[in-house]
Amino acid sequence: MKKLLLLLLVSFIHWSLILAQVDTSIYNLTLKDLAQIKISTPGRNIMTVLTAPSNIITITDKEIYENNYKSLRDLLNDIPQIIIQHVSSAENEDIYTINGITGNEKFLILLDGVRINAIAGSDNTIGENYSLANVKRVEIILNPTSVLYGADAFNAIINIITYKPEEKKGIEVSANRGNYNTYDAYLVTNYKLKNLGFTFVSKYFYSDGPFFPIYYPDLYNWYYRYEKTGEVISFGDTIQAPIGIKPWDMSSKATNFRAKLFYKNIEIGMLRFFESHSTSLSGKPQYSIYCKEAHYNTLLDNFYLKHNLNSKSNNIQLYSLINLQKFKILPTSAFVNRYTNFNVAYKYENTQNLHWEENLRIKTKSKQTWNLGFAVDLYDIIPKTGDLPVPYDETKPYDQQQIYYFGTNVQDTAGNSLVIYQDIYRIKYYNLSTYTQISHYFSDKLYIIAGLRGEYNSRFGFTLLPRFSLIYLPSNYWSIKIMYGKSFLAPPIHKAYQHFGSFIPVQDSLGGIIGLKSPFWHLTSPNLTPEYKDSYEINLIRFLNDNLYFKLNLFYNNLYNLITRVIITDTTFHNVPVDKAWVLRNTGNGNTYGGTISLYNNFKINDLNIKSSLSYTYIYGRINNLPPQFSPKHSIKTKITINYLDQMNLTIGGQYRSWSFYYPGDTVIKSPPYFVLYASGNALVIEQKWMSLWLTYRAYNLINSRYYNLSDGSVGPSPQKPLELLVGLKATF
């Protein structure tokens, strides 16, 4: 509480000085000018933050530079209404919650309009693999836009807009070194010759991560016991880990590769995103083993072709996109924990999607703009497997793997094999969609946007989605938006078909094996249907002058047909008795509501340009009769940036969160309130006609706090990293 009061006091003094002393006539760069930056994501029309039919936040390249954002995760961590539980998930590494609704699969990530997060609800880490090198701006929409973007635009859309060769020519290279043996480097090349252009971006990241037993000795005291004896705890019993004693390894690695070829109105791209992290990062040492075998490795590839055709008057535009995406949980991915009985349990998934889309935009003389379009999607998916005792063999067809379930590779007393081979599925389906959206301008100050999308999916049938927005501009300094949208989330394939558990032998009085049984299984749920959300929102932007404005956003979400976990008892799997099983059903419902009030300021004192922001967010509700999980009721985000003639800058920011909760089964896991401070900056070292050299630095958890985020396991909150430092050089040619 003292840290929160200090944060509020500093912010109050800062804003008091601004309002009392600053003369707006000395401003050079205005926030109002920034609010007029052209954006395209909300309505697929050219708009601004003031006129777009969404709660949209735009982060420019200058803000990316000033804050030294290396990855999309760095940037999203500063956005109000987005909560990231760091180092919290074995599969996703981090857990994202937007407007009180949790799920990394519940929002879209686009790169210049092309989807770059995994399709079909697959587990996708959003971390260092999403580089911000060569990024012009990032457009973030924090409400549903399923009418234009389809099934997975449930919570938000994040569109990363990159520089084209004619906008930023030359070469840029950056190399950074940090504590915990951290490396971060990238290379950018932009080349333009007449009608031909080329862009190449490559990023590499590696970190050992902190050795947590040093920083959280009480929480990790069991690790030293395991290091000496190899002992772990398996559901109450102390055992010797079958894998033996392994050296500590919590390393993470990421690469990002982007190559684009431009010719007139045609763009061809090849994108690759690789990420690897420990699957034991959110587990306690008595239940998980931190070794190199226990890592989750994913690879996402995109190959696309885009074409834009414009009429001479620019009133008619046709946008075409063909995109092939391939996403894999690589065969080397594995868990080593109590659920695998401390054996190496491998995972695999292979998801492919072919997407074809056409969008026609027509601007009429009667102050109307029409967006008409259709999309065709073909899916071919091997869903995430159960726990495999050996790696999946990609050289064999899925139905010829012959991999047994853990615990079944035994014989009974009569010599009969009890082997049960894994159920490995292959799912093929298609999705057809069409949409219409109209923007009608009653005047320069009042207009509406209405849209309707129809989707047919061969898995779950037909869905209809409406959208409506009213935008009123009382003056050049006001914007009032009232918005409604219906969105749906297609049932993730990996949830519908994931299954895991193990078998144990049934023994007679002499200890001979006479059969199998299972204490627990998570069973498949192939008949899941979409989750739905009705979203109501009011957004107000008010400029007090050209460099000071506040923003108020209020929302209410009605959620229904949510996928929830149901416990059943005395069932069977492969004709083997199962004591308890989990299945998924569309039985959940609830709501979330709240809002954010933000204040932004920009002013100049001599050669210093100073920007600051402060936002407070309140989010609450009831989902399945419980408060929203992973979402604090109160959060505050603030920062101040001091820039000297664009040659040197310093940014200092802080975040506060109140209590967060997670409800696995009948237990409640709590994460206490905390405040974390961070800083970043740049300094121009050399400037010549042919090159510039910059010193860059970034520090997170500046006061070296010990604090926790929630994890999606059932063993308690996850300890967070101590002070992180990253220092490097950036050169442009």
Rounded to whole angstroms, the Cα distance separating 155 from 139 reads 14
Q: Supply the pLDDT for residue 313.
A: 84
Q: Is residue 447 over pLDDT 80?
A: yes
Beta strands in 458-547 (DSSP E): 461-472, 478-489, 500-501, 504-507, 513-522, 531-545
Q: What is the pLDDT of residues 369-394, one digit of tens each?
A: 899 999 999 999 999 999 999 999 99
Per the CB < 8 A criterion, the answer to whether 518 and 577 are in contact is yes
Q: Is residue 267 over pLDDT 80?
A: yes
Per the CB < 8 A criterion, the answer to whether 134 and 188 are in contact is yes
Burial pattern 302-335, b for ≥16 Cβ within 10 A else e, equals bebebeeeeeeeeeebbbbbebebbbbbbbebbb
Q: What is the pLDDT of residues 225-258, one digit of tens each?
A: 999 999 999 878 899 999 999 999 999 999 999 9
Q: What is the pLDDT of residues 504-513, one digit of tens each?
A: 899 998 889 9
Closest by CA to 698, choosing from 215, 172, 179, is 179
Q: Which of 11-15, 365-369, 496-500 has the lowest mean pLDDT?
A: 11-15
Is 337 buried (19+), middle (13-18) or exposed (0-12) by CB count in 10 A? Answer: buried
- Residue 18's H or E segment, with its range, is helix 2-21
Q: Supply the pLDDT for residue 52.
A: 75
Q: Supply the pLDDT for residue 123.
A: 75
Beta strands in 546-575 (DSSP E): 548-573
Angle 250-253-254 (CA atoms, 0-180°, nearest 5)? 150
Q: What is the pLDDT of residues 171-214, one digit of tens each?
A: 999 999 999 999 999 999 999 998 999 999 999 999 999 999 99
- 426-453: average pLDDT: 92
- 147-165: average pLDDT: 89
Q: How confident is the model at residue 46 (pLDDT cuts 50, 70, 90)?
A: low
Q: What is the pLDDT of residues 651-700, one digit of tens each?
A: 999 999 999 999 887 788 999 999 999 999 999 999 998 999 999 999 99
Name the residue with higher pLDDT: 295 or 237: 295
Q: Supply the pLDDT for residue 143.
A: 77
Calculate what percentage of the chain has a pLDDT beyond 90: 76
Q: Supply the pLDDT for residue 45.
A: 63
CB neighbours of 157 closer than 8 A, spacing ≥ 6?
41, 107, 108, 110, 139, 140, 141, 145, 149
Q: Is residue 68 over pLDDT 80?
A: yes
Rounded to whole angstroms, the Cα distance separating 402 from 348 reads 14
Q: Is residue 42 over pLDDT 60?
A: no
Q: Which residue is listed with tokens 């894994």?
A: 422
Q: Supply the pLDDT for residue 22.
A: 36
Name the residue with higher pLDDT: 235 or 328: 328
User: CA-CA distances (angstroms) from residue 263 to 66, 199, 635?
Assistant: 33, 12, 47
Up-side HSE of residue 466: CA atoms within 13 Å toward CB? Answer: 7
Q: Which residue is listed with tokens 């107000």?
A: 540
* Topology of the domain covering 2-299+306-712: Maltoporin; Chain A (2.40.170)
- 613-625: average pLDDT: 96
Q: Supply the pLDDT for residue 296.
A: 96
Q: What is the pLDDT of residues 83-94, one digit of tens each?
A: 999 999 999 999
Which phi-psi region, left, alpha or beta, contains residue 407 (left: φ > 0; alpha: ψ -120 to 50)? Answer: left
Q: Supply the pLDDT for residue 33.
A: 60
Q: Is residue 133 over pLDDT 70?
A: yes
φ and ψ of 18, to 5 deg? -60, -50
3-class DSSP string for 219-259: CCHHHHHHHHHCEEEECCEEEECCCCCCCCCCCEEEEEEEE
Per the CB < 8 A criterion, the answer to whether 625 and 650 are in contact is no
Rounded to whole angstroms, the Cα distance separating 516 from 285 reads 30
Q: Which residue is listed with tokens 């790169």?
A: 111
Q: Supply the pLDDT for residue 619.
A: 98
Q: How confident is the model at residue 27 (pLDDT cuts 50, 70, 90)?
A: very low
- 281-307: average pLDDT: 94
- 315-323: average pLDDT: 94
Closest by CA to 432, choosing from 349, 334, 355, is 355
- 271-285: average pLDDT: 93
The span from the first CA to the last CA of the chain, in angstroms, equals: 48
Per the CB < 8 A criterion, the answer to whether 530 and 490 are in contact is yes
Per the CB < 8 A criterion, the answer to whether 172 and 717 are in contact is no
Give me the chain's average pLDDT, please: 90
